[in-house]
Amino acid sequence: MTLDINTLLAILAMAFATIFTRISGLVLIRHVQLDERWKTAIEAIPPAVLMAVIAPTAFATGWAETLACAATALAARRLPMLASVVVGVVAVALLRAAVF
């Protein structure tokens, strides 16, 4: 197996860009005062990302996945992100077992 120099440079550039954006976000947020409205908006980002990831599954697969996506969406409104993901995984497993 060989590694092309262009591939290696692309991987290193993407790694640098990822690390730079993550670190710069942490550094910059220290210098910003956030009021309650902004904090609420920022806290809404993780559930929105979760829905963006699972929404295509809801419309491109069967009923079990669609109903599990709905359960995940409802859980994400009240539960932490990890708990919402667990609800979705358990729901899809149970619904698939029920032969939906």
Q: How far is CA 25 from CA 17, 30, 32, 52, in A?
A: 12, 9, 11, 22
Residue 44 tokens read as 């809404």
* pLDDT higher than 80, residue 4: yes
| Angstrom distance (rounded) from CA 53 to CA 74 | 15
Other CB atoms within 10 Å distance of the CB of residue 76: 21
Q: pTM here?
A: 0.54
- Residue 90: pLDDT band (50, 70, 90) is very high
pLDDT tens, 5-52? Answer: 999 999 999 999 999 999 998 888 888 888 899 888 888 888 788 778
Q: Do 87 and 79 contact (CB within 8 A), yes or no?
A: yes
